[in-house]
Chain A
Amino acid sequence: MNDNLSEFEVCELDSPEGMFGVLQKHRPQVVLMDFTSESSGGFLEAIENFEQELQVVLIIDPTMENEVLHLMPQRVTDYIFRDRLKKLPIMVEQLLVKKDTGGKKFQEDTQSEIKENQERYQSVFENSPDGILLTVTGGNILAANPAACRMFNMSKSELFLARQTEIYDLQDSRLLPAIRKREKHGKVNARLKLIRKGGEKFEGEITSAVFKTANGEKRTSTIIRDISEKQKAEKELRKSEENYRNLFQYNPLPSLIFDLDTFEILQVNEGMVNLYGYTKEEFLKMRIPQLRPPEARTKLQEELQKARTERGQFFPGVINHITKSKKLIKVDIHTHRLEFQKRNCRVAVLNDVTEKEALFDELQEKKDKLAAAQSLAKLGYWELDLDTDKLLWSEQVYKIWEKKRTDFTPTTEYFVKTIHPDFKEMFADQTAISQGEVIKHDIEYKIILENGKTKWIRGKGSFRRNKEGKPVSFGGILQDITNQKEAQEKLRLNEVRQRGILMSQTNYLIRTDLEGRYTYCNEKFQDDFRWIHHDKELMGRDALSTTKPYHREKVKDVFLKCIQNPNQIFQVEIDKLHEKDKKKTTLWDMVCLTDQWGMPVEVQCVGIDITQRVEAEKALLDSNARYEIISKATSDAIYDWDCSTGKMEWSDGFKKLFGYELDCDIDFWLQKLHPDEKQKIEESLQEALDDNFDTWTAEYRFRRSNGEYAVVEERGTILKNEQQVPERMVGAIKDVTEKKKNEEKLKRNEANLRTAQKIAELGYWQFHVRDCRVFWSDYTFKIHERKEEEGQPKLEETLAMVHWEDVEMYTQKFQATLEEGGEHELEHRIVTAQGKVKWLHHRGKTIYDSEGRPVRMEGTVQDITKRKIADLKLLQLNKELEIYTKELIAANKGLEQFSYIVSHNLRSPVANISGLAELIQNGDYEQEIKNKFLAELYSNVKRLDNVIIDLNSTLKLKKKISEKKEKVNFEQIVNDIKESIRDQIQKEKVKVETNFEEVAEMNTVMSYMHSIFYNLISNSIKYRRPDVPPGIKITSEKRNDKLLLIFEDNGLGIDLSKKGDQVFGLYKRFHNHVDGKGVGLFMVKTQVETIGGKISVSSEPDKGTQFVLQFNI
């Protein structure tokens, strides 16, 4: 700071440009400036813009005093006249002292505080994200922070030199009011357009305040926030809010917003007002529960709790509501969570489905009635025999699996294979089923057929048990529910699609620009109208392109009106193009949306396809017209009788019915009554008139013009004057002659029928398609042993009486006749009301109306139980015959084997004997050779004898079917056998090892068991290995309720791969060196099987043989 008065510099400057540099270099306290009006403005401005405050003293001509006074005190401190400069030093001194004394004191007191503030201020100033400018009020920029530099894209020095006019947009209409406001209040907040270097304009939020320096000079601080980005976002927000509001407000579906904490209603749209009858104001005072009928409010608590906890979308479904007028309505509600007025809310869209639901209920009732019949219709039956593992399918099951009974036998494996992978797990535990652990099942699953088709099946199954309660079979019913499933799936899909307003499949939502070109179309609209353009593109296309030509003018008019009256809804019905030259009638709400300045921006249209509604309306009109025609054409004779004059006016029907002209009066009418009834009818009418009746009805005979009598029914209304005196009577006469005749006929017929039925023991029945009503004649009742007091049965009841095994066939035939027409005939069983099983012969056929629709089925039933029983007996006999035949065939096979034995085993010794005899007889051999022949002869005779003995024992064995059973001890048998062949055992050093610890004995035929053991033991000895002493090991074992006897030896063994199938055949031998006869194992097998066992063999050549005998315990 220059304290010394003597320090000064003189600068000569021609232009203001150099001023800044000079000031910065010398930092003077006082500037003396030669002032001329033309040149000095720029210098003054430069001084003002300098960051430091300066005292400016102008040296002027006295003539300019006024001009300079005008600059004081803001820009100029003082002045001195050019011709009185002597005063100048004193003046400067005064200026410096004034500043000094004030400044010094201030400095002393608060030097540190200033420093601190200075620092704080500096830090804020430097780091603020907002631009800060310090200016001489209305003048040059004195200081700017980095943010301001960035904002204006200028350096500090550029900013200092910039005029305010360069950074503010002078065309901004808000500028002037802002400046005025600041002048008035010293402060202003405003949004103004600002200009960056390069000319780009941006929106700034400006806080500008004027303050005075210590010297009382005015300064301005301006804080600028660049809000161009923010504003863009705000604009978007406003627009989307606008869109949303429009959507909410103009949505034809009633919508509301409610608070989730208090359930107060916060906003409703026009739709709500229309549906409920409350005004908007009333709504806003209500809470959600008030929309519910009182009795439903308890459950509401639960639902609202859910609305509170669920996130996002929540569909409470169809709910009962009451309107202001207490009318009950049903609404389908979709809600979505949102924040509204800073509260936790849900927006709910309600769809009035009252009528739809009513229709649906009615439909449901009808469906239920039919369901019983239909559900039975496609049932299949299956059964799995747990013993044989045989699977039985009914015809329907074959149909479901698309197999033919003739060339396909179902197996469990096949069934399991067809189950869809997703459901395999459900069936995984097949063993649980086969072991009877599953009690019953009722499941739905999918199958895949070989042709790739998938089907849905519902299956129910349970065990059938024998008398001991042991499960013998697992069986049940199956049903193809693919159609139902698919329908359900479709329904579910449709519902999903229906959700959401925008994606609505019933509402169209489009927006167009002001030229009427599409800017947005929702999916529904796209789906319905995209086809019009070959490229399937609607965006940017003229909206008229989807409109029928004859409606285009109308649409144009409405569209124009709409734009001229923004924010107002216009409704218009438009026929739109539809494929195949048809039209789609649509109803639209159009509204022109505006921006924040109220200028039209776009047109939003919400539309709905009302083609069906319009068609329905037309159909209604048609039917009304038809009704009128019908009523005109009614054949009844309608009259209007003036009681005082006796005159009558007749409709055309009178002439048509009876052949008279229309001017007949009451006397004429009386004349034509049947003489037998005339008096009675006249009296009755008089009575009605006298006794003040309102109506009169009668049935009587009336003579036609051709002399015949018609039977008529008359109904009249008596009209009276104020004194209650009858004045006129209006009514109709109906010719019921035919009806009466028919009734008579029917009565006679019924009587005849009844007689006929009794004679033929035939029952008659009817089934009415329209209402599923069943009619039984009295004999049908009798056959079913149903009491007539119980009334006509329902369809379900009749089906329930059909024997369960016949139900499938029965319903199938019934259904087929109903669907395909024709007649059916079947024999089936019923279980009567008294529980008796009867066989019925059932016939039925379908009766159609004139348009070919089935009206009813009717037919007869006949009790054929007696005949059936006889038939069944015959069938039983046939079956038995079949069994006998099978046995005979088996016996014959045995015989064949016998004949083979005879041909070979008997024949070969015989052939040998014959050959030897020939040689002995015709040859002249030596004695030695002859002796050899004789020996051979003898041996062959012996062989022949042995064969005969063997055969005899085999035949004996086959003959004995049963012998006495006794406890047979295995150890005992082995000991007996060892004893009987003791010599052989000793000679061959046979070792017989036994272990019968597990099972010691069994209940069986002793002689057989003995023979089995004997044959197996001797077999082992016979076929021993020559180099090893024979060893036999016999053990008993118990395994899974089976008794096993195991014979093991260390003998020659048999090559089973070659001869496996022949081991147990008669006269089969496998070794040439041993004198076997090939009878032993055949005998063993026969005997084992005779006592109910099985035998199997395993063997390896040169290792040994093992026989395993298996018996049931």
Chain B
Amino acid sequence: MSLKNYVVIDDDPTNNLICEFVIKKKVPGAEVGIYNDPEAGLSFVEKLETSTENESFPIVLFLDINMPSMTGWEFLDAFKKIDPEIQKRFRIYMLSSSVEDFSEQAIIYPFVKNFLSKPLSKDHMDMVVGNLADEKANNRPV
């Protein structure tokens, strides 16, 4: 398995396509993992546990909310139960077509970095990359 520092989980192939190109445009050479199935995405996250690679570079995860077999919230509930060491490596951004207010969920899932409205844009990526840079400067997760 190759190293991936960007992961997108959404059942909508169009969105995944857009994400891939927008990410690569901002971060050329980025490894982008695309998962149409949330279950497959979760299994990838869980498998990091057994991975021999200990390098602790952060992974940015774009997660859709409205998926038929498993919603984004259900994904987050499962995510909370995996090895905390693995959890630490993820910077999660919720990506949804809704224009709803997610302040309640922000309280329930405090580790979610931000709630983004589709489509993923250049501005979004500027913020994501900026956050990573700040983190690096302060040498701790922000």
Contact = CB atoms under 8 A, between A and B. Distances in A.
A95 interface: no
A521 B66 CA distance: 95
A908 B118 contact: yes
Contacts of B13: 936
Interface in B23-66: 25, 36-37, 66
Nearest to A1067: B66
A911 interface: yes
B98 A903 contact: yes
A933 B13 CA distance: 11
Given A908-B97, A911-B117, A912-B119, A1072 B21 contact: no
Contact of B67 (A903, A911, A923, A1072): A1072
Interface string B101-142: 000000000000000011111100000000000000000000
Contacts of B1: none
Interface of B: 11-15, 17-18, 21-22, 25, 36-37, 66-69, 97-100, 117-122
B36 A903 contact: no
B4 to A, nearest CB: 21
Contacts of A933: 17
Interface in A897-939: 903-904, 907-908, 910-912, 914-916, 918-919, 922-923, 925, 929, 932-933, 936, 939
Given A912-B119, A932-B17, A936-B14, A1071 B97 contact: no
B68 A1071 contact: yes
A915 B15 contact: yes
Contacts of B37: 1072
Contacts of B120: 915
Given A904-B97, A914-B119, A915-B22, A1070 B14 contact: no
Given A907-B99, A1072-B36, A912 B68 contact: no
B69 A939 contact: no
Interface string A164-191: 0000000000000000000000000000
B69 A1071 contact: yes
Interface residues of A, number: 28
A813 interface: no
A940 interface: yes
B66 A915 contact: no
A912 B18 contact: yes
Nearest to B117: A911
A940 B17 contact: no
Nearest to A943: B14
10 contacts: A903-B98, A911-B117, A912-B12, A915-B15, A915-B119, A918-B119, A918-B121, A918-B122, A933-B17, A936-B13
B21 A919 contact: yes
Given A904-B98, A907-B99, A1069 B68 contact: yes
Given A908-B66, A916-B18, A919-B22, 18 more contacts: A903-B98, A903-B99, A903-B100, A907-B118, A911-B15, A911-B118, A914-B119, A915-B22, A915-B120, A919-B21, A929-B21, A933-B17, A1069-B68, A1070-B68, A1070-B69, A1072-B11, A1072-B67, A1076-B68
A940 B69 contact: no
Given A911-B117, A915-B119, A1072 B97 contact: no
Contacts of A1072: 11, 36-37, 67-69
A908 B118 CA distance: 7
B41 to A, nearest CB: 12
Contacts of B67: 1072
Given A908-B118, A1070-B68, A1072-B37, A915 B98 contact: no
A910 B122 CA distance: 18
Contacts of A918: 119, 121-122
Interface string A874-913: 0000000000000000000000000000011001101110
Nearest to B15: A912
A939 B122 CA distance: 23
A923 B99 CA distance: 27
Contacts of B118: 907-908, 911-912, 915
Task: Please indicate which of the listed interface residues A904, A922, A1068, A1071 has the most CB atoms of chain B within 10 Å of its own CB.
Answer: A904
A914 B121 CA distance: 10
A923 B122 CA distance: 12
B43 to A, nearest CB: 14
Nearest to B119: A915
Contacts of B12: 908, 912
Contacts of A923: 21, 25
A819 to B, nearest CB: 58
A630 to B, nearest CB: 89
B67 to A, nearest CB: 7
A66 B99 CA distance: 166
A1071 B11 CA distance: 10
Contacts of A925: 21
Contacts of B98: 903-904, 907
Contacts of B100: 903
A1072 B119 CA distance: 21
Task: Please indicate which of the listed interface residues B17, B117, B118, B119 has the most CB atoms of chain A within 10 Å of its own CB.
Answer: B119
A1102 to B, nearest CB: 15
Contact of B119 (A911, A922, A929): A911
Nearest to A908: B97
Contact of B17 (A904, A911, A936, A1070): A936
A985 B10 CA distance: 32
Interface in A1057-1105: 1068-1072, 1076, 1078
Contacts of A919: 18, 21-22
A918 B121 CA distance: 8
A1068 to B, nearest CB: 8
Task: Please indicate which of the listed interface residues B11, B66, B97 has the most CB atoms of chain A within 10 Å of its own CB.
Answer: B97
Contacts of B25: 923
Contacts of A903: 97-100
Contacts of B69: 1070-1072
Contacts of B68: 1068-1072, 1076, 1078
Contacts of B17: 932-933, 936
A6 B88 CA distance: 157
